[in-house]
Amino acid sequence: MAFFAGLVDAVAGGGGLIQVPALFAAYPDAPPATLLSTNKVSAVGGTLNAARRYLRHVSLPWAVVGPAIVAGFVGSLLGANAVSNFPAEPLRKALPFVLLFLLLYTWFQPSLGEAHAPKTLGRFQQLKAAILGLTIGFYDGFFGPGTGSFLLFGFVRFFSFDFLHASAATKLVNVATNLAAILMLASLGQINWALGFAMMVANIAGSQFGSRLAIKHGSTFVRKAFLLIVSVLIFKSAWDAYFSS
* pLDDT (0 to 100) of residue 3: 92
Task: Name the pTM for this structure.
Answer: 0.85
Mean pLDDT in the chain?
85
- Residue 119 is classified by DSSP as P
* C-alpha distances in Å from residue 77, one per residue of 68, 81, 132, 177, 181: 14, 6, 15, 8, 6
Cα separation, 115 vs 138, in Å, equals 29
pLDDT band at 84 (very low <50, low <70, confident <90, very high): low
pLDDT one-digit tens code per residue, 7-37: 888 887 778 778 888 888 888 888 877 887 8
Cα separation, 54 vs 215, in Å, equals 7
Give which of 66, 53, 62, 71 is closest to 6, Cα–Cα. 53
Q: How many residues does the chain have?
A: 245
Residue 88 has pLDDT above 70, yes or no: no
Residue 204 has pLDDT above 90, yes or no: yes
* pLDDT (0 to 100) of residue 68: 96
Cα separation, 143 vs 90, in Å, equals 11
* pLDDT (0 to 100) of residue 245: 58
Question: What residues contact residue 6 under an 8 Å CB cut-off, 6+ apart?
Answer: 15, 43, 46, 49, 50, 202, 203, 204, 205, 206, 207, 208, 209, 210
pLDDT over 90, % of the chain: 24
pLDDT one-digit tens code per residue, 93-152: 888 888 888 888 888 777 766 766 776 678 888 999 999 999 999 988 887 778 888 899
Q: What angle do CA 202, 208, 212 make, to 5 degrees?
A: 150
